[in-house]
Structure formats: C-alpha cells, structure tokens
Amino acid sequence: MNKFAKSALSVSAAVIVATATLIPVGLAGAYGDNTGTKEGRAVYTLADINSGKLGDTITFNSITNGKIGDERNFVGARLTSGSASVYNANEINVEDGQTYTIRLYVHNNSPKGTDAIAKGVSANFSLPTTVAKEQTVIGYLNASNATPTRYWDEVTLKSDDNFYIEYVKGSAKYTNTQGTFALSDEIITGNVNLGYTSMNGEIPGCYDYDGEVTIQVKAHTSVSSKLAKTVRIKGSGEKFAESVEAKIGDEVEFQIEYVNLLAETVKDVMIRDVLPTNMEYVENSTYLYNSNYKEGKLLPENTVTTSGLNIGSYNARGNAYVRFTAKVVDKTMTCGSNQLVNWASSTVDSKVMKDDASVMVNKECKDDPTPTPTPTPTPTPDTPSKIVDTGAGSVVAGALGAGGITTLVGYAIASRRKF
C-alpha cells in the first residue's frame, strides 16, 4: 500500500503549520551530504515521489516542497518561549540569557512505509565552543542503508555582542506520532539512535513516520573565558571537587582551570588566588600545566596568592591548569563547622572571571571541667599597725585579641557555570 501517497496528497497549509514551518533566510547551500559530488544528492518533488520516481531507494530529507518546504533545510532554530510552529532555517538573532530550541527534521522519503525501513538511523549535533558574534550549529542525520548515508544542515545564531552557547542538559528529545522520547546528552558528542516506536535505529518510509529531534541551548554574552576552581586533600588521589572536608593541619591542593573561549589568541593571561583566613600558602608548591608543560612545571614564583601569575598566551580553546598547596591553620576558627572559601580569578585585557572552592573544617572544642570550689577559711583579723597610703588602686587587665573574618571587597560569590 502506498502510504506516502495517502499522506502526501493530504498535505495542506494547516498541516504545514502543525509540523513547524521553516522560514528560509538567504538560502546559501549550507546543507550537504556524503555523496561526494558538488551537486549533492538527488532531490524530488511530492509529485515525483507519488509517481514512483524514487523507486526502491531509501533517502532522507530530499523533497523540495515537503511539509517544511525544502527538506534540505532540515535544521532550524527558534526562541524556546516563542511560537512552537515557526523555526528560522538559516539564522536567528539571539539575546543574552535566552534559551533557544534547535530542531532537526527527520523524514524517510520512501513511499513504501514498513517495506522500506531505514536502518541505523541516528543523529548528532556539533556545537561551537568559542566566543564570537556568530555561532553555527550543525545537525547530522545518518542511515546505514540510505542513499546517501549521511546528511547535514546548519543554522547560525547571531548577536551584536560576543557570546557563547551552552547546551541545556537533559533537553534532547525525539518527537513523532508515537510521542516524545528522551534522548541521551551524548547527542552533542556522538551519534544517538532514533526510531519510531522505540529508539532502535529503524524508521519506515513516508510522512506517517517522520519526526524531529530537538535540543535546547542558552546564549551567554560578555564572556571571553572559562575559569573553574576545585580542591582536594593533598596526596589523597581523589578527584578535584568544588568542596572538600579537611582537618586543622591538613594540606589541600587547589586547582585553577583556565580556558580561552575566544576565537583568537589571547596574551598575558593572569591567574591570581585569594586565600581566606585560616589557610596558608605552602611555598614552592605552584605548578603550571598546559600544552608546553603537559607533565607540569614547578614555577619559581610564589606569587599566585599575592600579585598573581602570568601564565602566557593561549589560542582558541587553549587551556591551562595551575595547582598549588595550602595548609589549614587555626587563626580565627570557631567551634563547630567552618567554611573556608577560596577565590580564584583570571584577567585578560582587563576582563576578569572568578570562581571559588570551599574547604569545610569542623573544629572540635572540649569544655574545660568546672573546678570544685575550695572552702574559704575564716580569716583571723590581722590589722596592720600602719597603713601606707599608696594612692588609687591599680587594675591590671589582659588584652584578648579577637580574630575576625575579612570580607574581600570586590569579590562576590557567583553561581558556577559547566561546559
């Protein structure tokens, strides 16, 4: 039975809206496939498909007047809080802090339904990882028995300011007539299977079985680098974490990770750390790890917690780690739980990024035992025969120095960001 013809002939304006129309902007051939030819894969109209021109061939997204218009433009974007039915096919302007939905349309163009099941169907996205005024997201669709076997299209996110995009974890989904299926976050690092009733990599032909992959990304402006501060007990072999529990006298190892998110090289990256009260820097413990010093280089300067360190120049996505040791000391700790917050900063061209890590210390205090009072004997009156007038009585007092917590002006506790 020609299920495609049945569905294709019923396509109307209402159906096109329901399946989320793509608005092409300056069509420039951003799509492609692995046919290996300049012209790319063969394309068809609905009339071609209904007349049997496709034959037994299984192909995807090759209809020029389908539900979404030209199916080669199968990747689009929209503001998540906006209309769910309209996607911008080639570019969209973004705003800081807004979330955008990226859509990848999936359509096995064969009209033969379950007699033309595509195998090994999967999808993935390539997301940019630098800061720029334009960010291009590429979507890939794969099918092992299709012709061709790999398809791609892209959409560009634009802003007047430099920005980067952050993938929203847990947002990947596949939607078809059977419902909405959650997909793995691995879709941005590798291929994830699609399907019809289950995500088994098999999709029959025609509109009855089409669907769409969606992910969400968030735009962030005015960011040129990533900075991550972590800590662990020195010598423990444990992974670095945002916080660690320690005892007075323990040595902890701090790690500061810097990543250049700009598309160009940056020079004279400065790293500085601010130790809290009750922590002391251990001299000759600062190491730099980067592409030049993969095994780490002991730095002769002991300035990471004072004036800072110049760790050099870094290309786009270039990164470095600075590690050093500090000791937990008791200067002003109170009995019970103490949180020692340690701040790190990176500075490039007067642009500062900050992050923090915490060391939790529980100080145990033992109460002094209450002494048993000694009875005061009744004195025998012994009045001196002569009292020398020495003037006003003197009172000797001991001064008790009270330690306090110094607030670092200019350092505000900020929410941590994860790329």
| Helix/strand/coil (H/E/C) assignment for every residue in 122-135 | EEEEECCCCEEEEE
**172, 203, 221 - which closes a domain:** 221
Question: Is residue 374 a part of any domain in this protein?
Answer: no
Amino acid in the structure at residue 116 = A
Tell me: do 63 and 193 sit in the same domain: yes
At 378 the pLDDT is 55
Are both 238 and 101 inside the same structural domain? no
* In a domain? residue 389: no
Distances (CA, A) of 11 to 15, 16, 105, 168: 6, 7, 17, 34
Q: What is the mean pLDDT of the chain?
A: 83
**pLDDT confidence tier of residue 91, bands split at 50, 70 and 90:** very high
Q: How far apart are CA 275 and CA 181, in angstroms?
A: 47
Sign of CA dihedral 43, 48, 53, 57: positive
Domain that holds residue 115: 3-221
Asked if residue 359 and residue 256 are part of one domain, the reply reads yes
219: β partners: 165
What lies within 8 Å, CB to CB, of 403 at 6+ separation is: 277, 331, 332
405 pLDDT more than 60:
no
- Please check whether residue 369 lies inside any domain of the structure: no
Do residues 194 and 240 share a domain?
Answer: no
Identify whether 398 is part of a domain: no
Residue 225: predicted pLDDT: 84
Q: Are 132 and 205 within one domain?
A: yes
Instruction: Report angle CA 239, 242, 245 to the nearest 5 degrees.
Output: 80
For residue 148, whether the previous peptide bond is cis, meaning omega lies within 30 degrees of 0, is yes
Residue 238, C-beta contacts closer than 8 angstroms, at least 6 positions apart = 232
The verdict on 193 and 301 lying in the same domain is no
Say if residue 301's pLDDT is above 50. Answer: yes
- Establish if 350 belongs to a structural domain: yes
- Looking up residue 291, the CATH number of its domain turns out to be 2.60.40.740
Looking at residues 168-191, what average pLDDT do you find?
A: 95
Q: How far apart are CA 327 and CA 93, in angstroms?
A: 49
The 10s digit of each residue's pLDDT in 246-283 is 999 999 999 999 999 888 899 999 999 999 999 999 99
258 with 214, same domain: the answer is no
| The domain boundary residue, chosen from 191, 221, 251 | 221
Least confident of 175-189, 213-227, 291-305: 213-227
What is the C-alpha to C-alpha distance for residues 261 and 317, in angstroms, rounded to an integer?
A: 6
> Are residues 129 and 231 both part of a single domain?
no
Same domain (yes/no): 281, 301: yes
CA dist 331 and 346 (Å) reads 28
Longest CA pairwise span in the chain (Å): 136
Identify whether 388 is part of a domain. Answer: no
217, part of any domain:
yes
In 3D space, the residue among 56, 42, 32, 41 whose CA is nearest the CA of residue 145 turns out to be: 56
> Are 206 and 254 within one domain?
no
**Measured distance CA(361)–CA(154) in Å, rounded:** 51
Q: Which residues pair with 126 in a beta bridge?
A: 138
Neighbour count for residue 189 (Cβ, 10 Å): 13
Domain count, the chain: 2
How much is the pLDDT for 84?
Answer: 73
292 CB-contact burial (10 Å; exposed 0-12 / middle 13-18 / buried 19+): exposed
Q: Which of 177, 205, 221 is the last residue of a domain?
A: 221
> CA quadruple 275, 278, 284, 287: dihedral positive or negative?
negative
pLDDT 10s digits, 184-240: 999 998 899 999 999 999 999 999 999 999 999 999 876 778 899 999 999 999 999
Residues 230, 197 share a domain: no
pLDDT band at 141 (very low <50, low <70, confident <90, very high): very high
Asked if the structure places residue 387 within a domain, the reply is no
Which of the four pLDDT bands, split at 50, 70 and 90, describes residue 377? low
Q: Are residues 152 and 241 in the same domain?
A: no
